[in-house]
């Protein structure tokens, strides 16, 4: 490959644990490694992600790339309808790998990618429909069942607009459905209408699906080369195949999380110093939150954007209750050559840093904050990322997936189910008057009237 991987620097946490604690965890880590490799243990029917980087279906990959070309050649906008793992990975990739600002307006050949179906805001949806109705657009609807409320509501409106604009046959040619191989409302609709379809494998949960067509189709449609992403994931697959804590950085991260959890830390703060990483942290929050938050267990995953949030949460992090530790995403390569100019008369008092790159200022802000938070009693882990590139995006995805599997098993939970997610849905269905929920509806209304 010629590229090194990410490195976990835990020097900022050394005074908060003893080396023997890691050594005592090593046999458990090795046992769990064997369990995962042999596809045993709780949730083993959802381990399709485990070997995915080494077993990419080349025919499917070529089909994804071909569909992305068709989308780009016909569309000014691609609307991606999905929620949770059905959109967060792709959105994270686009935020990391595309420019902050589009150099040109959306156009055929270089479509804008817009995400919807991950909330129930009528204002957002209405404004989106008004925005795209005069543009050439395609739709990628992502749902295993086809009945997830937020996504299904958005897709009903999008489908209606597409059919009004292009006719049923023309709309069908612009709708791409990523769904279950055989079952579900979206699978039936796609076959009836003739949509191009891609499969969410049965053994792949949504939050582990970034490297499947769930993530790769919108990423490729945005004009991002999939090959280096998959190469990065393959490199992480190799690097994370070792059972030894010292040789497997993902397992080391999982073990340290567990140690801090056992010491009473209940919150993990994912910290970034680059706005491009905001949605990667959102993906990470779902990955760990849904995987670990069950049976009364689990770290609460939270994310902060520094230095922005240092001006809102910095005081609490420095001197509030000692409930958390930090995991910092540190990008080593400068992304900009922008240098602060000298100002005559030094009106803002910044001439002492004139001539420095802004990225270097950001780096020193990271270092200074790291030391301050350590002094304030916050253990700090640093995930060093050589650069924000397609290769390292793929690497990071697999790195955290592997760490999450290990971390969940260390906690003693099934990292691959999410039974608690269904409770809010049942209440929402009842309050909306869905057939079959009449008794629950009456119970909920009585509670709300108290």
The string of pLDDT tens digits covering residues 218-261 is: 999 999 999 999 999 999 999 999 999 989 999 999 999 999 99
Report whether 263 contacts 68 (CB < 8 A).
no
CB contact burial 430-441 (16+ within 10 A = b; e otherwise): beeeeeebeeeb
Q: What is the 3-state secondary structure (H, E, C) of 378-400?
A: CCEEEEEECCCCHHHHHHHHHHH
- Catalytic residue from among 112, 290, 292, 326: 290
The pTM for the full model equals: 0.94
**Cβ atoms of 111 and 75 closer than 8 Å:** yes
Rg (CA), the chain: 23
Q: Which residue has the tokens 């991950």?
A: 118
**Phi, psi values for residue 143, rounded to 5°:** -165, 130
Reading phi first (left if > 0) and then psi (alpha if -120 to 50, else beta), residue 434 is in beta
Contacts of 36 (CB under 8 A, 6+ apart): 47, 50, 405, 406, 409
Which pLDDT score, from 0 to 100, does residue 419 have? 80
Mean pLDDT score, 162-168? 98
pLDDT (mean) for 75-91: 96
What confidence tier does 353 reach under pLDDT thresholds 50, 70, 90? very high
Out of 168, 169, 425, 426, which one is annotated catalytic?
A: 425
Count Cβ atoms below 10 Å from residue 363 Cβ, excluding itself. Answer: 16
Residue 441, pLDDT > 90, answer no
Note if 282 is an active site residue.
no
Whether 360 is catalytic? no
d(CA 93, CA 224): 9
Question: Mean pLDDT in the chain?
Answer: 95
Which tokens go with 347? Answer: 């009106």
Cα angle, residue 359 at apex, residues 336 and 337 outer, rounded to 5°: 30
The C-alpha atoms of residue 222 and residue 259 are separated, in whole angstroms, by 40
Rounded CA separation 298/407 (Å): 9
In the chain, % helix, strand, coil (3-state, to 5) comes to: 55, 15, 35
Under the banding of pLDDT at 50, 70 and 90, the label for residue 418 is confident
- Paired residues of 300 in beta bridges: 267
Provide, rounded to the nearest whole percent, the portion of the chain with pLDDT above 70.
Answer: 99
pLDDT of res. 307: 97
pLDDT of residue 118: 96
Rounded Cα distance, 21 and 18, in Å? 6
Count helices and strands (H / E) in the chain.
15, 10
Distance between the two ends of the chain, CA-based, in angstroms?
63
Work out the pLDDT band at 443, boundaries 50, 70, 90.
confident
Is pLDDT above 60 for 393? Answer: yes
The predicted pLDDT at position 1 comes to: 38
């Amino acid at each position: 490959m010629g590229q090194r991987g990410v490195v976990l620097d835990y020097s900022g946490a050394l005074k908060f644990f003893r080396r023997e604690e890691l050594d005592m965890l090593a046999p458990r880590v090795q046992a769990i490694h064997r369990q995962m490799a042999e596809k045993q243990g709780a949730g083993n029917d959802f381990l399709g992600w485990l070997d995915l980087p080494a077993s990419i279906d080349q025919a499917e990959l070529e089909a994804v790339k071909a569909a992305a070309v068709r989308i780009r050649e016909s569309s000014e906008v691609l609307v991606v309808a999905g929620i949770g793992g059905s959109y967060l990975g792709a959105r994270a990739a686009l935020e990391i790998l595309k420019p902050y600002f589009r150099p040109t307006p959306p156009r055929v050949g270089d479509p804008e990618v817009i995400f919807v179906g991950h909330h129930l805001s009528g204002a957002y949806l209405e404004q989106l429909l008004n925005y795209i109705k005069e543009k050439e657009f395609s739709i990628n609807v992502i749902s295993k069942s086809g009945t997830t409320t937020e996504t299904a509501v958005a897709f009903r409106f999008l489908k209606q607009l597409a059919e009004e604009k292009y006719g049923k046959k023309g709309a069908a040619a612009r709708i791409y459905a990523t769904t279950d191989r055989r079952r579900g409302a979206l699978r039936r609709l796609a076959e009836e209408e003739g949509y191009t379809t891609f499969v969410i494998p049965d053994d792949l949960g949504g939050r582990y699906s970034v490297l499947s067509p769930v993530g790769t189709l919108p990423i490729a449609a945005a004009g991002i080369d999939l090959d280096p992403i998959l190469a990065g994931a393959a490199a992480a697959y190799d690097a994370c195949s070792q059972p030894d804590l010292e040789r497997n950085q993902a397992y080391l991260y999982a073990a340290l999380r567990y140690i801090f959890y056992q010491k009473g830390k209940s919150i993990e703060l994912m910290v970034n110093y680059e706005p491009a990483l905001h949605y990667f942290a959102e993906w990470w929050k779902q990955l760990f939150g849904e995987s670990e938050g069950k049976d009364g267990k689990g770290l609460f995953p939270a994310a902060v954007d520094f230095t922005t949030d240092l001006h809102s949460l910095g005081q609490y992090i420095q001197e509030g209750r000692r409930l958390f530790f930090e995991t910092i995403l540190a990008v080593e390569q400068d992304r900009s050559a922008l240098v602060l100019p000298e100002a005559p008369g030094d009106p803002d008092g910044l001439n002492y840093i004139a001539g420095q790159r802004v990225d270097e200022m950001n780096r020193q802000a990271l270092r200074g904050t790291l030391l301050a938070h350590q002094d304030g009693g916050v253990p700090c882990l640093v995930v060093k990322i050589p650069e924000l590139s397609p290769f390292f995006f793929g690497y990071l995805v697999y790195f955290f997936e592997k760490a999450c599997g290990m971390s969940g098993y260390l906690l003693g939970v099934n990292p691959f189910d999410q039974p608690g997610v269904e409770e809010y849905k049942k209440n929402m269905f009842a309050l909306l008057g869905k057939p079959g929920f009449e008794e629950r509806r009456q119970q909920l209304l009585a509670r709300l009237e108290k």
